[in-house]
Structure 1
Amino acid sequence: MSTVFKALSDPTRRRVLELLREGPQSAGALAAHFNVSKPTMSAHFSVLKEADLVEAVRQGKTILYHLKLSVLEDALLGFARVFGLGETAPPPAIKKSSENKKEDPVS
Protein backbone atom coordinates (compact mmCIF):
# COMPACT_ATOMS: atom_id res chain seq x y z
CA MET A 1 0.00 0.00 0.00
CA SER A 2 2.94 2.35 0.59
CA THR A 3 3.73 2.30 -3.14
CA VAL A 4 0.20 3.54 -3.83
CA PHE A 5 0.58 6.44 -1.42
CA LYS A 6 4.01 7.24 -2.84
CA ALA A 7 2.44 7.40 -6.29
CA LEU A 8 -0.41 9.59 -5.06
CA SER A 9 1.92 11.96 -3.24
CA ASP A 10 3.00 13.72 -6.43
CA PRO A 11 0.66 16.27 -8.06
CA THR A 12 1.79 15.33 -11.58
CA ARG A 13 0.90 11.68 -11.01
CA ARG A 14 -2.45 12.64 -9.47
CA ARG A 15 -3.18 14.74 -12.56
CA VAL A 16 -2.27 11.80 -14.82
CA LEU A 17 -4.82 9.69 -12.94
CA GLU A 18 -7.44 12.43 -13.34
CA LEU A 19 -6.78 12.52 -17.08
CA LEU A 20 -7.09 8.75 -17.31
CA ARG A 21 -10.53 8.90 -15.69
CA GLU A 22 -11.71 10.17 -19.10
CA GLY A 23 -10.43 6.98 -20.74
CA PRO A 24 -7.21 5.35 -21.94
CA GLN A 25 -4.63 7.72 -23.38
CA SER A 26 -1.26 7.43 -25.03
CA ALA A 27 1.91 8.43 -23.21
CA GLY A 28 2.35 11.31 -25.67
CA ALA A 29 -1.18 12.63 -25.15
CA LEU A 30 -0.72 12.54 -21.39
CA ALA A 31 2.73 14.15 -21.55
CA ALA A 32 1.30 17.02 -23.63
CA HIS A 33 -0.50 18.24 -20.48
CA PHE A 34 2.76 18.81 -18.62
CA ASN A 35 5.80 21.01 -19.08
CA VAL A 36 8.35 18.32 -18.21
CA SER A 37 10.81 16.20 -20.14
CA LYS A 38 9.95 12.80 -21.63
CA PRO A 39 12.30 11.00 -19.19
CA THR A 40 10.53 12.72 -16.27
CA MET A 41 7.12 11.63 -17.56
CA SER A 42 8.47 8.13 -18.09
CA ALA A 43 9.56 8.06 -14.45
CA HIS A 44 6.08 9.16 -13.37
CA PHE A 45 4.52 6.41 -15.49
CA SER A 46 6.88 3.87 -13.93
CA VAL A 47 5.84 4.87 -10.40
CA LEU A 48 2.16 4.60 -11.35
CA LYS A 49 2.74 1.16 -12.93
CA GLU A 50 4.74 -0.03 -9.90
CA ALA A 51 1.83 1.00 -7.65
CA ASP A 52 -0.49 -0.93 -10.00
CA LEU A 53 -2.63 2.19 -10.52
CA VAL A 54 -2.27 2.11 -14.29
CA GLU A 55 -1.83 -0.55 -16.93
CA ALA A 56 0.33 0.07 -19.98
CA VAL A 57 -0.72 -1.66 -23.19
CA ARG A 58 1.48 -1.46 -26.26
CA GLN A 59 -0.34 -0.96 -29.56
CA GLY A 60 2.30 -0.86 -32.28
CA LYS A 61 4.66 1.98 -31.40
CA THR A 62 2.16 3.57 -29.01
CA ILE A 63 1.73 2.80 -25.33
CA LEU A 64 -1.80 3.31 -24.04
CA TYR A 65 -2.29 3.84 -20.32
CA HIS A 66 -5.45 2.64 -18.59
CA LEU A 67 -6.58 3.57 -15.09
CA LYS A 68 -7.01 0.62 -12.72
CA LEU A 69 -9.79 1.91 -10.47
CA SER A 70 -10.07 -1.22 -8.33
CA VAL A 71 -6.54 -0.74 -6.98
CA LEU A 72 -7.18 2.92 -6.25
CA GLU A 73 -10.49 2.12 -4.57
CA ASP A 74 -8.86 -0.56 -2.40
CA ALA A 75 -6.12 1.86 -1.35
CA LEU A 76 -8.60 4.58 -0.45
CA LEU A 77 -10.80 2.15 1.50
CA GLY A 78 -7.73 0.91 3.37
CA PHE A 79 -6.76 4.49 4.15
CA ALA A 80 -10.28 5.21 5.43
CA ARG A 81 -10.16 2.12 7.69
CA VAL A 82 -6.82 3.20 9.18
CA PHE A 83 -8.42 6.44 10.31
CA GLY A 84 -11.73 4.88 11.31
CA LEU A 85 -13.67 6.59 8.56
CA GLY A 86 -16.84 5.03 7.25
CA GLU A 87 -17.32 2.67 10.19
CA THR A 88 -20.06 4.58 11.94
CA ALA A 89 -23.71 4.56 11.03
CA PRO A 90 -24.96 7.61 9.19
CA PRO A 91 -26.68 10.22 11.33
CA PRO A 92 -30.42 9.77 11.70
CA ALA A 93 -32.59 11.68 9.30
CA ILE A 94 -33.90 14.97 10.58
CA LYS A 95 -37.66 15.14 10.59
CA LYS A 96 -39.46 18.22 9.47
CA SER A 97 -40.83 20.33 12.30
CA SER A 98 -44.41 19.66 11.18
CA GLU A 99 -43.80 15.93 11.63
CA ASN A 100 -42.50 16.42 15.16
CA LYS A 101 -45.56 18.32 16.38
CA LYS A 102 -48.57 16.31 17.47
CA GLU A 103 -51.86 18.07 17.38
CA ASP A 104 -53.88 17.82 20.58
CA PRO A 105 -57.53 17.07 19.94
CA VAL A 106 -59.79 19.84 21.20
CA SER A 107 -62.47 18.54 23.57
Structure 2
Amino acid sequence: MNALFKALSHPVRRSIIDMLRKGPMASGDIAAAFDMSWPTITGHLNALKEAGLVSPERDGASIRYRLEISAVEEALAFLLQMTGAGRKDPGDEP
Protein backbone atom coordinates (compact mmCIF):
# COMPACT_ATOMS: atom_id res chain seq x y z
CA MET A 1 0.00 0.00 0.00
CA ASN A 2 2.90 2.39 0.74
CA ALA A 3 4.36 1.94 -2.74
CA LEU A 4 0.93 2.55 -4.23
CA PHE A 5 0.42 5.87 -2.47
CA LYS A 6 4.02 6.92 -3.09
CA ALA A 7 3.49 6.24 -6.81
CA LEU A 8 0.29 8.29 -6.77
CA SER A 9 2.00 11.20 -5.04
CA HIS A 10 3.71 12.44 -8.23
CA PRO A 11 1.65 14.51 -10.69
CA VAL A 12 3.30 12.96 -13.77
CA ARG A 13 2.38 9.49 -12.56
CA ARG A 14 -1.19 10.57 -11.96
CA SER A 15 -1.25 11.97 -15.51
CA ILE A 16 0.02 8.66 -16.87
CA ILE A 17 -2.71 6.81 -14.99
CA ASP A 18 -5.29 9.21 -16.39
CA MET A 19 -3.99 8.55 -19.92
CA LEU A 20 -4.19 4.78 -19.37
CA ARG A 21 -7.81 5.02 -18.25
CA LYS A 22 -8.67 5.29 -21.94
CA GLY A 23 -6.86 2.03 -22.73
CA PRO A 24 -3.36 0.52 -23.06
CA MET A 25 -0.64 2.71 -24.57
CA ALA A 26 2.84 2.16 -25.94
CA SER A 27 5.63 3.53 -23.78
CA GLY A 28 6.75 5.79 -26.64
CA ASP A 29 3.28 7.35 -26.88
CA ILE A 30 3.27 7.95 -23.14
CA ALA A 31 6.73 9.55 -23.29
CA ALA A 32 5.69 11.76 -26.22
CA ALA A 33 3.01 13.38 -24.04
CA PHE A 34 5.64 14.84 -21.68
CA ASP A 35 8.57 17.19 -22.09
CA MET A 36 10.93 14.89 -20.19
CA SER A 37 13.82 12.58 -20.95
CA TRP A 38 13.16 8.95 -21.76
CA PRO A 39 14.94 7.74 -18.56
CA THR A 40 12.71 10.00 -16.45
CA ILE A 41 9.54 8.59 -18.03
CA THR A 42 10.91 5.06 -17.64
CA GLY A 43 11.46 5.77 -13.93
CA HIS A 44 7.86 6.93 -13.56
CA LEU A 45 6.56 3.85 -15.40
CA ASN A 46 8.71 1.59 -13.22
CA ALA A 47 7.35 3.23 -10.05
CA LEU A 48 3.80 2.65 -11.29
CA LYS A 49 4.65 -0.96 -12.20
CA GLU A 50 6.25 -1.65 -8.79
CA ALA A 51 3.14 -0.27 -7.10
CA GLY A 52 0.99 -2.66 -9.14
CA LEU A 53 -0.84 0.21 -10.85
CA VAL A 54 0.24 -0.70 -14.38
CA SER A 55 1.39 -3.82 -16.13
CA PRO A 56 3.67 -3.95 -19.17
CA GLU A 57 3.11 -6.24 -22.12
CA ARG A 58 5.34 -6.68 -25.15
CA ASP A 59 3.77 -5.61 -28.43
CA GLY A 60 6.29 -6.36 -31.16
CA ALA A 61 9.27 -4.10 -30.61
CA SER A 62 7.51 -1.85 -28.10
CA ILE A 63 6.02 -2.21 -24.65
CA ARG A 64 2.42 -1.32 -23.96
CA TYR A 65 1.23 -0.38 -20.49
CA ARG A 66 -2.18 -1.26 -19.14
CA LEU A 67 -3.87 0.19 -16.04
CA GLU A 68 -4.44 -2.38 -13.30
CA ILE A 69 -7.88 -1.52 -12.00
CA SER A 70 -7.60 -3.89 -9.01
CA ALA A 71 -4.80 -1.78 -7.50
CA VAL A 72 -6.81 1.40 -7.98
CA GLU A 73 -9.85 -0.24 -6.39
CA GLU A 74 -7.73 -1.34 -3.42
CA ALA A 75 -6.51 2.23 -2.85
CA LEU A 76 -10.03 3.58 -3.17
CA ALA A 77 -11.40 1.02 -0.70
CA PHE A 78 -8.68 1.98 1.78
CA LEU A 79 -9.50 5.69 1.45
CA LEU A 80 -13.21 5.06 1.83
CA GLN A 81 -12.56 3.00 4.93
CA MET A 82 -10.38 5.76 6.40
CA THR A 83 -13.09 8.37 5.84
CA GLY A 84 -15.85 6.14 7.15
CA ALA A 85 -17.71 6.32 3.83
CA GLY A 86 -19.69 3.24 3.05
CA ARG A 87 -19.67 2.09 6.67
CA LYS A 88 -23.04 1.10 8.07
CA ASP A 89 -24.24 2.34 11.43
CA PRO A 90 -25.54 -0.38 13.78
CA GLY A 91 -29.09 1.02 13.43
CA ASP A 92 -29.08 0.95 9.60
CA GLU A 93 -31.49 -1.40 7.92
CA PRO A 94 -29.98 -4.39 6.08
TM-score, normalised relative to structure 1 = 0.78
Residues 4-23 of structure 1 aligned to structure 2 (within 5 Å): 4-23=4-23
Letter in 2 for 1:75: A
- With 73-82 and 3-12 compared, the bigger mean Cα shift is at 73-82
Q: Rg larger in 1 or in 2?
A: 1
C-alpha displacement at 1:87, in angstroms?
Answer: 1.5
Partners of 2:85 and 2:36 lie apart in 1 by 37
Across the aligned residues of Structure 1 and Structure 2, the Cα RMSD in angstroms comes to: 1.2
Gaps of 5+ in 1: 90-107
Q: What is the match of residue 50 of structure 2?
A: 50
Partners of 1:36 and 1:48 lie apart in 2 by 17
Measured against aligned partners, the alpha-carbon deviations of 1:59-94 in whole angstroms (never above 9, x if no partner) come to: 2210000001111111111122123222257xxxxx
Structure scoring higher RCO (CA < 8 A, sep ≥ 6) equals 2
Gaps of 5+ in 2: 90-94
C-alpha displacement at 1:20, in angstroms?
Answer: 0.3
Q: Name the % identity.
A: 43
TM-score, normalised relative to structure 2 = 0.89
Partner SS for 1:77: helix
Partner SS for 1:86: coil
Residues 1-107 of structure 1 aligned to structure 2 (within 5 Å): 1-88=1-88
Measured against aligned partners, the alpha-carbon deviations of 1:2-40 in whole angstroms (never above 9, x if no partner) come to: 111001000000000000011000000011111110000
